[in-house]
Amino acid sequence: RRTLRRLNVPVALRDAKNNEQDRQTLLEQGGKIKVPCLRIEEDGKTTWMYDSKVIIDYLNQRFANV
């Protein structure tokens, strides 16, 4: 979340721990219940990232110069 704030990236946060619907969506669409998770929708394709370092690296690469 710190990286999201630092880069001023707007995202919709979900609570897979306390919200059954969010947990089901994560399982059904992402394939597993694991957090952190970032769902990326680009060019009609959805990609799920689950590793903190991979997510932070992606955010820095994608949004650092925007």
pLDDT for position 65: 81
DSSP structure string for 15-60 = -TTT-HHHHHHIIIIISS--SS-EEEEETTEEEEE--HHHHHHHHH
| Residue 58 pLDDT class (50, 70, 90 cuts) | very high
pTM score > 0.75 for this model?
yes
pLDDT for position 51: 96
pLDDT tops 80 at residue 66: no
pLDDT for position 22: 96
Residue 54, amino acid: V
- What's the pLDDT tens digit per position in 14-44? 999 999 999 999 999 999 999 999 999 999 9
